[in-house]
């Protein structure tokens, strides 16, 4: 294992400059450490693949203070992907309710922002902002990992 570590070396991209812009008031209270619960409200899994690479060794979002957790009870923020389907509408509301305050909601990807190609489909209840209050939106179908990391750095301020 040691040989593997030495041979592979460092694969993480060099950290880009911190993006400009103010940290939202609620996020400032979190003091640079944001615990995130991911909710798939009806996504096609494209966004999930990009989230996985954003938290993988190359983009390594954790070095900026963002971390994925296993339960909304542990989380400061929800990261919602996909249009909100009818089956997931109540679950999303309850998950949002289960996060302690102050809480943030990130709508990730075009579907989460405005239902994308699924707009008007019979099983779709609406965009994320129609169900819960959204603080940050990340455009893209799917958004690139750099965009996800930049949005998260906007919350952690690091």
Partner 1 sequence: MNLVGTLYVTALAGCAVAALAALTAPARARLPLTGWCTAVAGAVGAAAGVAALSGGVSAGVSAGVSPGGPAGGSGPSWSAWLPDLLPLAGVRLAIDPLGGVFVAVTGLVTVCAAIYGIGYCAHGLDGRLFQAVLPLFVAALLLVPAAASVSTFLLTWELMAVTSLLLVLAEHRRRAEVGRAGLWYAVMTHLGLVAILAGLVAFAAGAAGESFAELRAAELPPGAATVVFLATAAGFASKAGIVPLHVWLPRAHPEAPSHVSALMSAAMVNLGAYGIIRVGLDLLGGGPAWWWLLVLAAGALSALYGILQAAVTSDLKRLLGYSTTENLGLVLVGVGAAGFFAVSDLPVPAALALAAALLHVVNHAAFKTVLFLSAGSVLHATGTRDLDALGGLRTRLPYTTAVFAVGALCASALPPGNAFVSEWLLLQSLIHALPGAGVAGAVTMPLAVGVIALSAGLAVATFVKAFGVGFLARPRSAEAEAARESPPPMLAAMTFAAVGCVVLALAPTLVVPALGRAVGVVFPGRDVVSGELTLRLAGVSGMISPLLIAAALVIAVVAVLGLVRLTAARRARRAARLWDCGAGPMSARMEYTATSFAEPLQRVFDDVLAPESDVDVTPMKESAYLVERVRFQARVPDRIEHRLYDPLIAAAAAVGNRARALATGSVHRYLGYGFWALTGALLVLVALW
State residue 113 phi and psi, 5-degree precision.
-75, -50
State which residue, 60 or 130, has the beta carbon closest to partner 1: 130
Residue of 42, 72, 82, 145 that binds partner 1 (CB under 8 A): 72
Pairwise CA distance, residues 23 & 158, whole Å: 10
Q: How far apart are CA 129 and CA 97, in angstroms?
A: 15
Stretch touching partner 1 by CB under 8 A, among 17-25, 26-34, 57-65, 66-74 = 66-74
Stretch that binds partner 1, among 12-20, 84-92, 105-113, 124-132 (CB under 8 A): 84-92
Minimum distance, C-beta of residue 1 to partner 1, in the bound complex (Å): 22
When the beta carbons of 29 and 146 are compared against partner 1, the nearer one is 29
List the beta strands (DSSP E) in 60-113: 66-68, 77-81, 84-85, 104-108
Q: Is 13 in the site for partner 1 (CB under 8 A)?
A: no
- The two beta strands, 66-68 and 34-40, are parallel
Centre a 10 Å sphere on the Cβ of residue 75 and count the other Cβ atoms it contains: 24
Whichever of 72 and 142 has its CB closer to partner 1, that residue is 72
Position among 28, 52, 58, 71 found at the interface with partner 1 (CB under 8 A): 71
Interface residues for partner 1 in 87-106 (CB under 8 A)?
90-92, 94-95, 97-98, 101
Which of 44-69 are b and which e, b meaning 16 or more Cβ less than 10 Å from the residue's Cβ?
Answer: bebbbebbebbbeeebbbeebbbbbe
Footprint on this chain of partner 1 (rule: CB under 8 A): 71-73, 90-92, 94-95, 97-98, 101
């Amino acid at each position: 294992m040691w040989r593997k570590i030495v041979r592979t070396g460092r694969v993480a991209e060099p950290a880009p400059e911190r993006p400009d812009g103010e940290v939202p008031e609620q996020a400032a209270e979190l003091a640079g450490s944001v615990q995130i619960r991911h909710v798939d409200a009806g996504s096609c899994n494209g966004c999930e693949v990009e989230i996985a690479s954003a938290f993988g060794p190359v983009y390594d979002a954790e070095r900026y203070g963002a971390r994925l957790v296993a339960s909304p009870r542990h989380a400061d923020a929800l990261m919602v992907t996909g249009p909100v389907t009818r089956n997931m509408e109540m679950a999303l509301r309850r998950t949002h309710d289960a996060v302690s305050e102050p809480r943030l909601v990130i709508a990730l990807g075009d579907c989460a922002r405005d239902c994308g190609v699924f707009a008007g489909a019979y099983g779709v209840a609406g965009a994320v902002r129609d169900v819960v209050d959204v603080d940050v939106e990340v455009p893209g179908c799917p958004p690139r990992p750099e965009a996800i990391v930049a949005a998260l750095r906007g919350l952690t301020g690091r």
